Chain A
C-alpha cells in the first residue's frame, strides 16, 4: 500500500492489517470502508445501466435477453443506485470522513454505532442481492402494489434489504445530528461550521425523520406478501394508493437526502476555487434546512395521476414549486461567490460548474413536472427519467466525483493527476448530456419509461442516448484510473494543496488518527483559515 511510504503518524498507518480495518471505530477509516464498497456497488449499478442502454439501442430485442430479464436489470439498477450508492454515498463517505474534522472533533459522537451502521448497511446489501437467488424482482425500485404483492419472493428480499439499509441510514443520520450538536470544538459555533456540515446536518434530520416511515411501509409490504394482511391489497380491502403515499412520504424527502450533501460539496468547491469566502453563508445554510422542511410536504407530486384528489394535487403542485426558492438561493449565492473571484478551473471546480449547469436543468424540468397539467402528459415517460437523472447523476454524482478529487489528498495524502481528472470530467459531462438530453425529447414525444421495447420512430434518439452512455462509462473509468493512479503513484500532497480555507485543511494529509494533535480552538469564521 502506498501509505506505508509516509513516515508521519496518521490514521492510515496508526494500526495495520485487514482486521484493524474491519474493527475500526475511527470515523475516517469507516468513511474509507464505505468508499470502497459504495464504489463497488456503483460499478455494478453502472454495468446494469449500460446493459439497459445497450438493449434499447435498437427497436426490438437487441441483446438477446427476454423482457423479464430487462425488467430485473432495470429494477436492480434503480435499487442499487438509490439504496446503495446515492442515498448513503456522500453522507457515509465524506460526511463520516469530514464532519468531525470540520467541527474540530476527534470522532463522531457514537463511534461504535458508526461501525455497526456499516455492518448493517453491508447486511442489507447482501439481503438485497440475495433476492437474485429467489427469482429477483421486476417491480422497479418503487415496489408499487398490487403488482409487487403478486410477484415471486425475490421481491421480499429486495424489500428487506432496503429496510435494513434504511436502518443503517437512520443510525448514520442520528450519529451526525448528535455530533454536530455536541462535539463542536471550543469556539466552533453553529455559524462557524462549513456549509458542507450544514447540508449533511439537514440531510441527517431527513434521514432520521423520513426513513422510519419507509421502514414500516416496507415491513407492511412484506406482511402483505407473506400473510395477506390486506392493507395494500385492493382485492381484500387494501388501498394501493396508500402504499404510494407511504412510499413517497419517505422517498421524496430521500431525493433531498441524495442531493443536499451534494450541494454542500459544491459550496466548498466553489469557495476554494474562486479564492473567495462563500457569499451568503447564512442564506445557504438555512436554505438547506428549508429544503429539508419543504421536502416533507410535497410527496403527492409523484401521484398526480394515481387517483388522489384533485385538490390534493393542486396543493402538492403549488408546494412543490416552493422547493425552487431555497434551491435558487443556493445557486445564486454560488454564482455570487464566483463573481469577481479568481477562478481556477481544476478538475473539482469543473465538476462543480458541471453540477450547476446540469442541476439547473434538472431542477427547472422539475418545475415543469410539478405543473399539474404538464405532468399528466409527461408522467411515466422518458421525460421523467431524464429529469431525475439530471438531478441524481448530473447533480449528486458530479458533486461526488468532484468532492472525491478535492478531498482525495486529505484522505490519502496524495494528489490525483489533475489532467486525467479533467479528461474524465469532459467525458462524463459530454456523455451525460448526450445520453439524457435526447430522453427529454423522447419523453415529450411520448415514449413511456421502463419498457423493454419502443416504437420505431424513437430509434434514432435512443441510439444517440446509448452512445452517450458509453461516454459516461468511459469517463467514470478514467476517473477510477485517476484515483487508483493517485493512490499508487500520486504526488505527495501538502496539508493544503488547493488553498482551501476551511478547518479540515489545517489537519495533516492524511490526518492524525485523532484528527488534530491538539483540539483546535476556533476563533474565526468558517472560511477564514488562510
Chain B
C-alpha cells in the first residue's frame, strides 16, 4: 500500500483527507467496476452453458473449426501482457520511469498482437462463411453437425429422435456465440490498449511516481480482468471439442 509522504508534490482532490485516502477510494471504485464487467460477461457465459448443453453437437463440431494454435498463441500473448502490465506498475512505484514506459509499451504491443491474430482468425472465418446466423454460408459445417448428431444418437443407449431440419437451422449458433463473445472481449482489448497508451503517455510526462500511480494500477486491474475473461473464453470456445 502506498502512503504519500508529507512533502509529496502530488495534491489530492479537495474532498479527500490525504493521497492515501484518495488512492483507496479510487481502488475500491475500480474493483466495483470489475464486478460489473464480470457480471456482464457472466450473462454470456450462462447463455453459452445453456446452449452448449442443449445442442452439444453444434458446439462440438464448432470448436473443431477454430484454430487451437492461434488461440494458444493469443493466450500466451495475453498472459505475457498481464506480466508486463504488472511490471509497468512496479517500475512506476519504484520511480524507474524509462523501464515503466518500456513494459507498458510491450503491453500495448501484446494487445495489438492479440488483435492481429484475431484479425487473421476472423477474416478466415468470414472467408469460409462461418459467421453469425443471417450471413452464415457454409453447408459443409452444417452437414458435419448433422453427421455428428446422427453418430452420437446411434452410439448412445437413449433413443431419441433428432430433428435434422431444426438442427440445420441451429448449427450457425456456435458462430453467433463465437463472434459475440470474442467480439465483446476484443472490444475490451482495444479499450484496454487505449487506456494503457494513456497511462504510458502520462508516465512519460512524469505524472506518476512512488506517491501517485493510481491510474496505472486501475488500468492494470482492468487489463487483468480482460486477460482473465480470455482465460475462460479460450477453453470454452477452442477446447470443448
Tell me, rounded to whole Å, the shortest Cβ–Cβ distance linking A248 to chain B. Answer: 13
Q: List residues of chain A with CB within 8 A of the CB of B25.
A: 109-110, 178, 181-183
| B115-159 interface with A by 8 A CB criterion | 131-135
Alpha-carbon gap, A170 to B172, bound state (A) = 34
Complex contact B40–A174 (CB within 8 A): no
Tell me, rounded to whole Å, the shortest Cβ–Cβ distance linking B126 to chain A. Answer: 12
| B143-184 interface with A by 8 A CB criterion | 166, 169-170, 172-173, 176-177, 179-180, 184
| Given A228-B134, A231-B176: A237 and B35 interface contact (C-beta under 8 Å) | no
Complex contact B50–A242 (CB within 8 A): yes
Q: Does A106 contact B (CB under 8 A)?
A: yes
Tell me, rounded to whole Å, the shortest Cβ–Cβ distance linking A275 to chain B. Answer: 33
Complex contact B169–A237 (CB within 8 A): yes
Q: Which residue of B lies closest to A171 (CB)?
A: B33
Alpha-carbon gap, A321 to B25, bound state (A) = 37
Contact digits for B13-33, partner A, Cβ 8 Å, 1 yes 0 no = 111100001001110110011
Q: Which residue of A lies closest to B48 (CB)?
A: A231
| Given A106-B15, A514-B14: A216 and B44 interface contact (C-beta under 8 Å) | yes
Alpha-carbon gap, A113 to B54, bound state (A) = 42
Q: Does A461 contact B (CB under 8 A)?
A: no
Complex contact B176–A229 (CB within 8 A): yes
Complex contact B29–A235 (CB within 8 A): no
Q: Does A393 contact B (CB under 8 A)?
A: no
Q: Does A284 contact B (CB under 8 A)?
A: no
Alpha-carbon gap, A21 to B24, bound state (A) = 29
* Interface locus among A205-213, A301-309, A367-375: A205-213
Tell me, rounded to whole Å, the shortest Cβ–Cβ distance linking A316 to chain B. Answer: 17
Q: List residues of chain B with CB within 8 A of the CB of A99.
A: none
Complex contact B176–A208 (CB within 8 A): no
Q: List residues of chain B with CB within 8 A of the CB of A233.
A: 133
Tell me, rounded to whole Å, the shortest Cβ–Cβ distance linking A257 to chain B. Answer: 14
Complex contact A229–B132 (CB within 8 A): yes
**What's the dominant secondary structure at chain B's contact region?**
helix
Complex contact A182–B28 (CB within 8 A): yes
Complex contact A178–B180 (CB within 8 A): no
Q: Does A357 contact B (CB under 8 A)?
A: no
Alpha-carbon gap, A236 to B70, bound state (A) = 29
Complex contact B15–A236 (CB within 8 A): no
Residue in contact with A242 in the complex, picked from B37, B40, B41, B47, CB distance below 8 Å: B47
| Given A106-B15, A229-B177, A230-B173: A220 and B47 interface contact (C-beta under 8 Å) | yes
| Given A213-B42, A216-B44, A230-B132: A110 and B176 interface contact (C-beta under 8 Å) | no
Q: List residues of chain A with CB within 8 A of the CB of B131.
A: 227
Residue in contact with B173 in the complex, picked from A105, A174, A220, A237, CB distance below 8 Å: A237
Q: List residues of chain A with CB within 8 A of the CB of B180.
A: 220, 223, 229, 231
Tell me, rounded to whole Å, the shortest Cβ–Cβ distance linking B97 to chain A. Answer: 26
Alpha-carbon gap, A100 to B179, bound state (A) = 43
Complex contact A208–B133 (CB within 8 A): no
Alpha-carbon gap, A209 to B38, bound state (A) = 10
Residue in contact with A212 in the complex, picked from B13, B37, B50, B51, CB distance below 8 Å: B37
Interface residues on A, range: 35 or more
Contact digits for A191-205, partner B, Cβ 8 Å, 1 yes 0 no = 000000000000000
Q: List residues of chain B with CB within 8 A of the CB of A108.
A: 15
Q: List residues of chain A with CB within 8 A of the CB of B40.
A: 212-213, 215-216
Complex contact A229–B36 (CB within 8 A): no
Among B25, B28, B39, B170, the one with the most A-chain Cβ atoms within 10 Å of its Cβ is B39
| A444-481 interface with B by 8 A CB criterion | none
Tell me, rounded to whole Å, the shortest Cβ–Cβ distance linking A225 to chain B. Answer: 10
| A164-180 interface with B by 8 A CB criterion | 170, 174-175, 177-178
Q: List residues of chain A with CB within 8 A of the CB of B32.
A: 174, 177-178, 208
Tell me, rounded to whole Å, the shortest Cβ–Cβ distance linking A500 to chain B. Answer: 24
| Given A105-B15, A213-B43: A229 and B179 interface contact (C-beta under 8 Å) | yes
Alpha-carbon gap, A177 to B13, bound state (A) = 18
Q: Does B90 contact A (CB under 8 A)?
A: no
Q: List residues of chain B with CB within 8 A of the CB of A239.
A: 50
Alpha-carbon gap, A106 to B177, bound state (A) = 46
Complex contact A237–B55 (CB within 8 A): yes
Q: Does A246 contact B (CB under 8 A)?
A: yes
Q: Which residue of A lies closest to B28 (CB)?
A: A178
Complex contact B132–A228 (CB within 8 A): yes
Complex contact A219–B51 (CB within 8 A): no
Complex contact B15–A227 (CB within 8 A): no
Q: List residues of chain A with CB within 8 A of the CB of B33.
A: 174
Tell me, rounded to whole Å, the shortest Cβ–Cβ distance linking B27 to chain A. Answer: 9
Q: List residues of chain B with CB within 8 A of the CB of A497.
A: none
Q: List residues of chain B with CB within 8 A of the CB of A242.
A: 47, 50
Complex contact A216–B41 (CB within 8 A): yes
Contact digits for B173-212, partner A, Cβ 8 Å, 1 yes 0 no = 1001101100010000000000000000000000000000
By a beta-carbon cutoff of 8 Å, the part of chain A in contact with chain B is: 100, 105-111, 113, 170, 174-175, 177-178, 181-183, 208-209, 211-213, 215-217, 219-220, 223, 227-231, 233, 235-239, 242, 246, 514
User: Could you list 19 further interchain pairs (A-B, Cβ under 8 angstroms) beyond the known A216-B41, A231-B173?
Assistant: A109-B29, A175-B29, A177-B32, A181-B25, A209-B35, A212-B42, A212-B43, A216-B40, A216-B43, A220-B43, A227-B133, A228-B132, A228-B133, A228-B135, A228-B176, A229-B176, A230-B170, A231-B176, A237-B58
7 interchain residue pairs of minimum CB distance: A229-B176, A228-B133, A237-B170, A228-B134, A216-B43, A106-B15, A212-B40
Interface CB pairs A-B, < 8 A, 12: A107-B15, A181-B28, A212-B37, A212-B40, A213-B39, A216-B42, A219-B184, A228-B133, A230-B173, A237-B51, A237-B166, A514-B15
